[in-house]
Amino acid sequence: MPELPEVETVVRGLRPHLEGRKLVRVLQRRPDLRFPLPKNFAARLEGRRVLSIDRRAKYILVRLDGEETLLCHLGMSGRLVLGRPNGVPLDAHDHVVFETEAGTEIRFNDARRFGVMDLVASDGLAAHKLLCDLGPEPLGNRFDGKSLATSLEGRRTPIKAALLDQKVVAGLGNIYVCEALFYAGLSPRRQAYTVQGGRAERLAWAVRDVLRRAIDAGGSSLRDYVQADGELGYFQHQWAVYDCEGGACPGCDCDRRKRGGIRRLVQSGRSTFYCPTRQR
């Protein structure tokens, strides 16, 4: 599933092509994605001008004139890909196609159909069922060591699971939680309530740092992920521990033959990668 840096990369890629542009044609090729698409979806979008595009957690928010916002989630395999009308023939999984007055085509391709699209009144966006319970943005001003420590107080669950709870921090996913815990020197097994004071400060810094570096690098190039302009991201070349089982972590001076290097364990059905020497 695309994580926060991948979604932010898509948002930045779409802005030059959508902001200020009118949607002159919208093609809806099926009635639903993960949920049914809104009634008269295409007709309600055609003729609308895009005012701005931003992100909340892993959701893309396309703000339109007429005080409505197109809310989009890429799901597990969704892609928003740029092109030109009458160019490459439509793929079977191109479910929604947008065309702007400038002649740009944006296709929403989603093989697994776990993506989401909805039209929401802009002034009611914060109360939408998919957004109302989200925690602070990890790159926003409300997120720091003190706020993180407060959110973790009394939580008797592994810190890895706590960070994946979108009510604690919005938008974090499996890859970047593994990376942040490594740079903060915290074991994924550590109980969340013990991450206070200096530990919380280190972890908040690590979360922000790894996300910023991933965004700068263009997002992680997973099998189903493509940037808006069709180019793959490449942050996976900078991963310290994720998907590196048996390898040496950056700066490692332990004997891998004795300790086995980076280890993998399964937590809540997801793979966790960590260095048992450096993370406590």
Q: What is the pLDDT of residue 2?
A: 84
The reported pLDDT for the residue numbered 232 is 65
pLDDT band at residue 113 using 50, 70 and 90 as cut-offs? very high
Mean residue pLDDT across the chain: 93
Which of 55, 56, 58, 278 is catalytic? The answer is 58
pLDDT band at 92 (very low <50, low <70, confident <90, very high): very high
Mean pLDDT confidence for 36-48: 98
- Residue ranges, CATH 1.10.8.50, the chain: 145-274
Between helices 145-152 and 197-217, what is the axis angle to 10°?
A: 110
Most confident residue range from 198-202, 248-252, 260-264: 198-202
Contact by Cβ (8 Å): 264, 247: no
Report pLDDT digits (tens) over 215-239.
998 877 666 677 777 766 767 778 9
Contacts of 106 (CB under 8 A, 6+ apart): 14, 17, 18, 80, 81, 82, 83, 97, 98, 99, 100, 228
pLDDT band at residue 257 using 50, 70 and 90 as cut-offs: confident
- Quick check: 102 pLDDT over 90? yes
- The class level of CATH for 4-127 reads alpha beta
Structure tokens that stand for 200 in this block: 């919380």
pTM > 0.85: yes
CATH 3.20.190.10 positions along the chain are 4-127
* Catalytic choice (34, 264, 270, 276): 270
Active site residue 2: yes
Determine whether 58 is an active site residue: yes
Given the residues 2, 5, 136, 188, select the one marked as catalytic: 2
Phi, then psi, of 6 in degrees rounded to 5: -65, -40
Share of the chain above pLDDT 70, in %: 96
For residue 87, what pLDDT is reported?
76
Res. 63 pLDDT band, cuts 50 70 90: very high
Question: For domain 145-274, which architecture applies?
Answer: Orthogonal Bundle (1.10)
pLDDT digits (tens, 9 = 90+) for 121-170: 999 999 999 999 999 999 999 999 999 999 999 999 999 999 999 999 99
